[in-house]
Amino acid sequence: MHVDIVEQGVNREDRFEINHHGYRFSQSRCYRESKGELACISCHDPHVKPESTAFRLSVGKVCTGCHEDAADAHAPETDLFRRGACVTCHMPRRRTSDVIHVTMTDHRIARGPFDLDALIQPMEKNNLVITAVGLLELGDPPEGSEADAYRAIAALRSGRNMEAAQGELERALQDVQFPGNGPYVDLATSQFNAGQYRASETTARRIIAGGENLRPAYTVLGTSLLAQG
């Protein structure tokens, strides 16, 4: 299940992480309006890291193949436009927020203009509060309580907003019966991490009583009993 989050004080357009190539590309107006015609392989083999200046210029030809009026939007004397370096301005290199010591090409094609120097400035690691979790509309995402369970599990596994997510997962599991034990192990682990040792013991015993020889459940049960003396 693919989830999207909202972090406190961060606009969606500014959330850029190291594995966000496809996520950012799907936000591009160019991608959305092409109705699937524009893809990763329109510009390059995504399994090969392109380095050369010639490559970046070849991507520019893909851009002008659609944007035939691009010259009207740029001053002819603009050096980057004259050289066809569309990527430099419209897919700039940026510092990633989760791996803060690297910069990567942002695959969200955007109008700009951007302060290219500011985008690559060093930053401090900051685990921001998650204010919302949603499911990306890829494939056939679930609805209702099942969707609530997936959203809560994602928040719990991130280690942020633990209390609110745990309550949401508890409510969802009252309405939805999952075929596997993953969500119930997430709940037991969350209860243990919150210091609710009797509750985590109860949840772990419920998993084990279902006949599953699930080592994570025994781990939670054992540590819950130790925590209770």
CA atoms within 13 A on the CB side of 212: 17
Note the helical H segments in 41-180: 53-66, 70-73, 79-82, 86-90, 116-119, 144-158, 162-175
Task: State the average pLDDT for the chain.
Answer: 88
Per-residue exposure over 119-130, b if at least 16 CB sit within 10 Å of its own CB, e if not: eeeeeeeeeeeb
Confirm if 188 and 220 have CB atoms less than 8 A apart.
Answer: yes
**Predicted model pTM:** 0.72
- What pLDDT band is residue 46 in, cutting at 50, 70 and 90? confident
pLDDT per position as a tens digit, 119-176: 999 999 888 888 888 898 877 889 999 999 999 999 898 877 667 899 999 999 999 9
Q: What's the mean pLDDT in 183-194?
A: 94
**How far is Cα 39 from Cα 30, in angstroms, rounded to an integer?**
10
**How far is Cα 69 from Cα 53, in angstroms, rounded to an integer?**
24
Looking at residue 180, its pLDDT comes to 83
- What pLDDT band is residue 51 in, cutting at 50, 70 and 90? confident
Confirm if 129 and 160 have CB atoms less than 8 A apart.
Answer: yes
Torsion on CA atoms 155, 158, 159, 161, rounded to nearest 10 = -30
Looking at residue 138, its pLDDT comes to 75
Amino acid at the residue 12: R
- What pLDDT band is residue 218 in, cutting at 50, 70 and 90? very high
Looking at residue 77, its pLDDT comes to 58
Residue linked to tokens 């985008």: 119
Looking at residue 159, its pLDDT comes to 79
pLDDT per position as a tens digit, 4-38: 888 888 988 888 999 899 889 999 999 999 988 99
CATH number listed for the domain at residues 142-227: 1.25.40
Proportion of the chain above pLDDT 90, given as a percent: 47
Above 90 in pLDDT, residue 102? yes
Looking at residue 178, its pLDDT comes to 86
Looking at residue 191, its pLDDT comes to 94
Q: Strand pairing partners for 93?
A: 105
Tell me where in the chain the CATH 1.25.40 domain(s) lie: 142-227
Q: How many other C-beta atoms can be found within 10 angstroms of the C-beta atom of residue 89?
A: 17
Looking at residue 39, its pLDDT comes to 92
Looking at residue 76, its pLDDT comes to 64
